[in-house]
Amino acid sequence: MRNKVLLNICLLKKDLFFCLTVFGSFCFSNFFSQTPPLGACANFAIYTAVGAINSNGTTNVTGDIGTDVGAFNGFPPGIIIGQSHVADATSAQAAIDVDLAYTYLTGLACDSVISVILGGNQTLTPQTYCIGAAATLNGDLILDAQGNPNAIFILKINGALSTGTLSHVLLINSALFNHVYWQINGLLTLGNQSVFKGIALINGAMSLLDSATVDGQVLSKAGAITLSNNHVSISSNVALPIELYLFSVRCENQTAILNWRTASENNNQFFFIERSTDAMHWTEIGRLLGAGNSIIACNYSFTDGQTLDALMYYRLKQYDFDGQFKYSSSVYLSDCKQRLDGIGIFPNPGSGKFNLSYEGDQNGVTGILIYNVYGQLIYQSDVFQEAFNLSNNAEGTYFLYIKNANSIVSKKVVIEKF
């Protein structure tokens, strides 16, 4: 009788459940079976089974980092809050386990086949998504768990993945990065100042461009890893009693500007802003009133004029009316006091021909890049130039990035056809 009842349940719930045998007494949910086992990779923020790891600048890693075959450079000056494993027993086992996890995802069936173009405020709900070729992500990609903290997202990309400058993977409605899996059959490139969230299982190399952030893990079967002033953390998987849509920091006039946005708030009294030089010891530097209860987007900003250290971390402490609190993930800023300053663009707006001025050492400029609103690079120079011509581009807003050895800053450029 027990087997018969179970069989009837499975048939009634066939879209969600299946049975091992017709007369078996155990049923399993497809939903819960989709989480790949990470084994020895579980504690790694960054790992490659075969390939060198090289870091330029001050990359901060919270979690373990390592390679089983390859050189390991850049730590220090990079900072590891965890362990490094290079050709040891842990890295050897991780090489086996990353292959098993990747293979596990390969065997999962697709719920939906989607376009190779991701972002542009695109919203996905929990499913297994398949992309048949190399993909790009520009702007915001929103993963909506619909209030279920156990919801699982799987994105299987049969090719490389490249994210644009300032692109974001946003988790809302109880979505957590350790329930978001990316299978990438090729190179992973994260754009300048982009934010990527989830666990990436990669069959190829990785390149994290300047100031790109990862909340989660990047794990490769084989391929070199190149880092540049990045922040990669497996400790930021925090569900707040608010829907924190975005939390970022930028340097402006040698001060830190923090911005965050909530999609909704519940019983939210305060935001405490905390600062640290080592991501372990924190000091409160200010507080802002929350919206209490809100179902509309709320924007917040805070300025910290005391950025005197080379590397500063920031986080939010969200405080309820009932005295409960939780922390956000942390963001960081490097060398704000040494950042580029005295940059001018004129005329701006302009018809397409612009002049650029810089009060500092022009020989120290290592790059000028201009992107459109879709994150596409339309202009590039490896040296300082006093003029550039965008006349062949359409009217609209563009983003100019200027780099030196210590920093990168951005300016808006507006084309208006007079």
Cα(333)–Cα(285) distance, integer angstroms: 16
Give residue-wise pLDDT tens across range 42-53: 999 999 999 999
Q: What CATH code would you report for 340-415?
A: 2.60.40.3080
| More confident call, 130 vs 282 | 130
Q: Which residues contact 393 (CB under 8 A, 6 or more apart)?
A: 352, 372, 378, 415
Per-residue confidence at 334, pLDDT binned at 50, 70, 90? Answer: low
Mean pLDDT within 144-153: 89
pLDDT given at position 95: 96
Of the ranges 4-18, 76-90, 317-331, which one carries the lowest mean pLDDT score? 4-18
Q: How do the domains of the chain map onto residue ranges?
A: 2-33, 40-233, 242-337, 340-415
Return phi, psi of residue 236, to 5°. -100, 20
Domains 242-337 and 340-415 share a fold: yes
pLDDT given at position 372: 83
Q: With a cut of 80, say whether residue 202 has pLDDT above it.
A: yes
pLDDT given at position 201: 98
Distance of CA 121 to the CA centre of its chain: 15
Question: How crowded is residue 403: how many other Cβ atoms within 10 Å of its Cβ?
Answer: 18
Report the mean per-residue pLDDT for the chain.
Answer: 82
Per-residue confidence at 240, pLDDT binned at 50, 70, 90? Answer: low
Give residue-wise pLDDT tens across range 21-36: 333 323 233 333 467 8
Cα(368)–Cα(401) distance, integer angstroms: 6
Amino acid at 203: N
By the 8 A CB rule, do 155 and 116 touch? Answer: no
pLDDT given at position 16: 34
Q: Which two tokens stand for residue 100?
A: 């098993």
Burial category of 46 from C-beta neighbours within 10 Å (exposed 0-12, middle 13-18, buried 19 and up): buried
Cα(103)–Cα(153) distance, integer angstroms: 17
pLDDT given at position 5: 31
Q: With a cut of 90, say whether residue 185 has pLDDT above it.
A: yes
**Which ranges in 293-364 belong to alpha helices (H)?**
none
pLDDT given at position 118: 96
Cα(143)–Cα(90) distance, integer angstroms: 32
Of the ranges 27-41, 183-197, 287-301, 355-369, which one carries the lowest mean pLDDT score? 27-41
Architecture of 242-337 per CATH?
Sandwich (2.60)
Per-residue confidence at 239, pLDDT binned at 50, 70, 90? Answer: low
Per-residue confidence at 405, pLDDT binned at 50, 70, 90? Answer: low
Task: Answer whether 0.75 is exceeded by the pTM.
Answer: no
End-to-end distance of the chain based on CA atoms, in angstroms?
Answer: 82
